[in-house]
Amino acid sequence: MDDSPLHHPAAAAGIRARNTALGFHGSCQDRTGALLRTLAALKPGGRLLELGTGTGAGTAWILDGMSSDAHLVTVERDPELAAVASDLLRSDHRVEFTVDDLHEWMPQQRGQTFDFVFVDCRLAKQHHETVLGLLRPGAVYVADDLHPGTGWGPQDVVARDEYLATLAADPRLRPTLLDWSSGLVVAAVDGHG
Ligand SMILES: C[S@@+](CC[C@H](N)C(=O)[O-])C[C@H]1O[C@@H](n2cnc3c(N)ncnc32)[C@H](O)[C@@H]1O
């Protein structure tokens, strides 16, 4: 079976070209993007969150799945990367680009809740409790890049394994690991208690 996506977001080609010009290699893979689109579509009218915008590849896939009345907040600390995403996607009224460091941004969000999160930077994986605090019961949690990447050392593998152990031990989550694309976890936030 060829599981590569048949359809790509309209902005994908432009983002790829800008990535090549910038030498940015951090965009999510297309298979991950297709899954993000599917999961985003589960939250009509929802509030969605992406932690680590990069140049907007994941943002474009998430927007492609969202209903017309859903809202996406995406956060990136690098203004040059965020500007690429914003250039190509800001005409979509459903997305709100935030240029900030998650160290600063996350503690300011107390009281805000989301129905979906794409956890796509290391810091957000390390601050599990803070991220979970932003999610409503029934929310979808997705993280990628769990397969060792370029430049990973033994300490990165240890950090990844600790992260996965934290997710597995969290009674509020129902996680599934996917040994697919860049290595993913998809979890549901417990909606029963
Ligand atoms: C893997 S890339 C994101 C790719 C993007 N989500 C996509 O799917 O194409 C991770 C991004 O997180 C950003 N990042 C890393 N640490 C951050 C922090 N503390 N606050 C905000 N952004 C951060 C990096 O600058 C980088 O652009």
Instruction: Judge whether 81 and 58 are in contact, CB under 8 Å.
Output: no
As a whole-number percent, the residues of the chain with pLDDT over 70 amount to 99
Closest residue CA from atom 8 of ligand 1: 58
pLDDT of residue 168: 97
Residue 122: pLDDT band with limits 50, 70, 90? very high
Residue 35: pLDDT band with limits 50, 70, 90? very high
The pick from 104, 106, 121 for probing ligand 1's pocket by mutation, whose C-beta has the most ligand atoms within 8 angstroms, reads 121
For residue 51, the cross-strand partners are 75, 119
Closest CA to 14 of 69, 57, 51, 53: 57
Among the atoms of ligand 1, which is closest to the Cα of residue 28? 8
Closest residue CA from atom 3 of ligand 1: 54
Q: How far is the CA of 100 from the centre of ligand 1 (A)?
A: 11
Given CA atoms 100, 162, 24, 18 in this order, what sign does their dihedral have?
Answer: negative
Instruction: Judge whether 47 and 71 are in contact, CB under 8 Å.
Output: yes
Residue 39: pLDDT band with limits 50, 70, 90? very high
Decide if pLDDT at 192 tops 90: no
Q: What tokens appear for 165 in the block?
A: 């152990």
Residue pLDDT, tens place only, 5-15: 989 999 999 99
CA distances from 97 to 3, 142, 150 (A): 31, 19, 28
Query: Could you give the domains of the chain?
Result: 29-189 (3.40.50.150)
The pick from 24, 35, 49, 53 for probing ligand 1's pocket by mutation, whose C-beta has the most ligand atoms within 8 angstroms, reads 53
Closest residue CA from atom 9 of ligand 1: 27
Residue pLDDT, tens place only, 12-31: 999 999 999 999 999 999 99
Closest residue CA from atom 25 of ligand 1: 78
For the chain, the average pLDDT equals 97
As a whole-number percent, the residues of the chain with pLDDT over 90 amount to 95
Residue pLDDT, tens place only, 156-172: 999 999 999 999 999 99
pLDDT of residue 63: 98
Map residue 67 onto helix, strand or coil. coil
- Reduced to 3 DSSP states, what percent helix, strand and coil does the chain have, rounded to the nearest 5? 40, 20, 40
pLDDT of residue 193: 58
State the chain's maximal CA–CA distance in angstroms: 48
Contact residues for 45 (Cβ-Cβ < 8 A; gap 6+) = 67, 69, 70
